Every structure is written in C-alpha cells, then in structure tokens.
Chains A and B, each alone.
Chain A
Amino acid sequence: EVKLVESGGGLVKPGGSLRISCAASGFTFSHYNMNWVRQAPGKGLEWVSSISGSSSYILYADSMQGRFTISRDNAKNSVYLQMSSLRAEDTAVYYCAREDGSHYFDYWGQGTLVTVSS
C-alpha cells in the first residue's frame, strides 16, 4: 500500500524558516518524481515544487523560487521542503504528492499545516 506521511509543520514567524518532510512507503521511491502542493485556508490547490527520482531536475513555482528548496533522500524514502523568508501568504496545508510517469498526482499525503504569523 502506498503511503505518504508529512511532518514538520507548525507556527513560524514572518521571515523565518521551516523544513517539512514526507516519508514514503509501499513503492520504489527512487523511481518516482515527487511534488509539494499547497492549499491556503479555504482556497484551492497550488503546485509548489517537483523533484525527479534521481534529483537531476528540480522545478519551482515562480512565487517560491529562491525561497524554497526541495530535496530528497532515496535511502530514507523521504522528500523535504526547506522554506525560508516565509510570509503570511505561505500559510497553507502542504501536501506531498507522488507523480505518475505521465505527470499527474496519483497519491497524496494527509498534509501538514504551516502557519506564518507573528
């Protein structure tokens, strides 16, 4: 059974940093691109970042470029999102999502809430 479990969310002050994690199980992790997708309270879904199975390509949404860093550790079956210079508008539930070979998201974690507030 495919499982994605996010952790590390919490309350952080504007301008602060936070690293969130996603632990994967039930599939050959290194064979899949992984993504972060976020959802602000009461709002829709917004793609954040993608990382390929070998970490050879990494992509970010424009509004996150330069502030967020995605990485993965295939030995630990985990993907990470390091977030810095956080703003109130980064407040959201952050979901980890597996990307099928055709680039849609076939499995999602339960999400972790990041709140940016003073």
Chain B
Amino acid sequence: DIQMTQSPSTLSASVGDRVTITCRASQSISSWLAWYQQKPGKAPKLLIYKASSLESGVPSGFSGSGSGTEFTLTINSLQPDDFATYYCQQYNSYPWTFGQGTKVEIK
C-alpha cells in the first residue's frame, strides 16, 4: 500500500497568512493526488485534483503543486472559512489512501 504522510499535523495561523501543507507519498504517484477540506461534522470537500487542478467553485486562493512523491497545498491568504482539516489522497493505485490530516487552527 502507498503510505501518505502529511506535515504538519496541526498548523496555527492568522487570517491573511499564507500557509503551506506538505504531503509525501511512500512511492511515486505521478500527479495522481487530490486535496480535500473537511469541517467538523461535515463531509470532505474536493479542492484540488491531479496535484494542481482547482476544482470548480473552489476559491483561487487555494493552489496545489508537486509530482512524484512530494506535494504541497498552499492557501494564499487564509480566510475565516478556511479553518478546517485538510487531507491529501493518492489515486495512483489501490487501495486509495489518505494522509492523516492537517488541522489549520486560528492562532
């Protein structure tokens, strides 16, 4: 199975900050990576697919980059609505696997 490791596990930031979350795969997954946002008590929401493609309707302040084994999710200017937990997911090969999540908290 491909292991996905996110860092940090928790991130404290302020509104307006630029934040970056890293996701590393245990083997190359090309660009087959998605990012999701989850708020408490809600379902995950797709933000980014194919490592850097922004899902329709997602604010342009979100961006993704990377390929192979190292990926990043960047939030350009953190908004109050962005405080949530973020997950990466590889879909290069079964079983589909997720990172453990990164919680973005208010500083």
Residues of A that sit less than 8 Å from B by CB: 35, 44-47, 50, 59, 61-62, 95, 100, 102-111
Contacts and interface: CB of A to CB of B under 8 A. Distances in A.
B27 to A, nearest CB: 17
B98 A45 contact: yes
29 contacts: A35-B96, A44-B98, A44-B101, A45-B38, A45-B44, A45-B87, A45-B89, A45-B101, A46-B98, A47-B96, A50-B96, A59-B94, A59-B95, A62-B95, A95-B44, A102-B50, A103-B32, A103-B96, A104-B34, A104-B49, A105-B36, A105-B44, A105-B89, A106-B46, A106-B49, A106-B55, A108-B45, A109-B43, A110-B43
Interface residues of B, number: 23
A107 to B, nearest CB: 8
B65 interface: no
Interface in B18-42: 32, 34, 36, 38, 42
B43 A111 contact: yes
A103 B91 contact: yes
A17 B40 CA distance: 28
B91 to A, nearest CB: 4
Contacts of A95: 43-44
A95 B55 CA distance: 20
Contacts of B91: 102-104
Contacts of B89: 45, 104-105
B50 A44 contact: no
Contact of B46 (A46, A59, A61, A105): A105
| Residue from A35, A95, A105 with most neighbouring chain B CB atoms (10 Å) | A105
Nearest to A46: B98
